[in-house]
């Protein structure tokens, strides 16, 4: 999002030239440059043996399950976000985080940082933000996530990471 007014003092921003970024909206009162940056968000596939943790959130997709996700908070590392979101949304602890790459969502100006992680204790306990959270067979995940294209890409990477050799998991892919 390109800022027009200063979110701190409200004055109209000027354009200031930054040698590596070009013209950047700038507030001379607060001496801040407002770079046009995306919102960082994490998405994580939590794996436990042959199961994967999926959520049902009807406001995202009506007929499809999704992976856990959330915005990176100011003051925390991306890894801390992953641990915090999993704990908040499912009550579980995780270990062995692995970064699986990023995806850009232009409609929402979100940069999705994708991860997988392994279950490391705790009982499933859904938060009030979540409609339903449960373990699915990893072989059923792609079928259950029909509307979630980014989530399915992550599950396919997870299947490679865990050395899955079968065909069954891919039966719903065209």
What are the residues binding Zn ion (CB under 5 A)?
6, 8-9, 27, 29-30
Edge-to-edge strand ranges of the sheet holding 32-33 = 14-18, 22-27, 32-33
Q: What is the distance between the alpha carbons of residues 67 and 12, in angstroms, rounded to a whole number?
A: 40
Quote the least distance from Cβ 135 to Zn ion, whole Å: 49
Beta-sheet pairing, 68-71 with 65-66: unpaired
Helix, coil or strand: residue 128: coil
Nearest residue to Zn ion, by Cβ distance, number only? 6
Q: Which is nearer to Zn ion, 6 or 41 (CB)?
A: 6
Nearer to Zn ion, 29 or 134 (CB): 29
CB 156, min distance to Zn ion, A: 46
Least distance from Zn ion to the Cβ atom of residue 4, Å: 12
Instruction: Give the residue with the Cβ less far from Zn ion, 12 or 123.
Output: 12
Q: How far is the CB of 10 from Zn ion (least distance, A)?
A: 7
Work out the angle at residue 107's Cα, subtended by the Cα atoms of residues 134 and 102, and round it to the nearest 5 degrees: 60
Closer residue to Zn ion, CB minimum distance, 29 or 77:
29
DSSP state at residue 139? G
**Judged by CB, which is closer to Zn ion: 13, or 72?**
13
From the CB of 29, what's the least distance to Zn ion, in Å? 4
Output the six-digit token pair for 30.
């607060």
Angle at 112 between CA 108 and CA 118, to 5 degrees: 145
């Amino acid at each position: 999002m390109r800022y027009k007014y200063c979110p701190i003092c409200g004055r109209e921003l000027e354009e200031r030239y930054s040698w590596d970024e070009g013209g950047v909206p700038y507030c001379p009162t607060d001496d801040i440059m407002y770079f046009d940056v995306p919102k960082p968000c994490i998405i994580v596939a939590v794996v436990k043996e042959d199961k994967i943790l999926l959520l049902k959130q009807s406001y995202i997709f009506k007929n499809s399950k999704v992976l856990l996700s959330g915005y990176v908070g100011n003051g925390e590392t991306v890894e801390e976000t992953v641990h915090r979101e999993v704990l908040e949304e499912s009550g579980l602890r995780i270990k062995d985080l692995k970064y699986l790459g990023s995806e850009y969502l232009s409609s929402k100006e979100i940069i999705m940082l994708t991860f997988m992680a392994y279950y490391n204790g705790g009982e499933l306990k859904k938060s009030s933000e979540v409609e339903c959270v449960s373990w699915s067979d990893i072989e059923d995940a792609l079928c259950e996530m029909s509307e979630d294209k980014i989530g399915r890409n992550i599950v396919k990477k997870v299947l490679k990471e865990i050395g899955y050799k079968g065909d069954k998991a891919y039966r719903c892919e065209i």
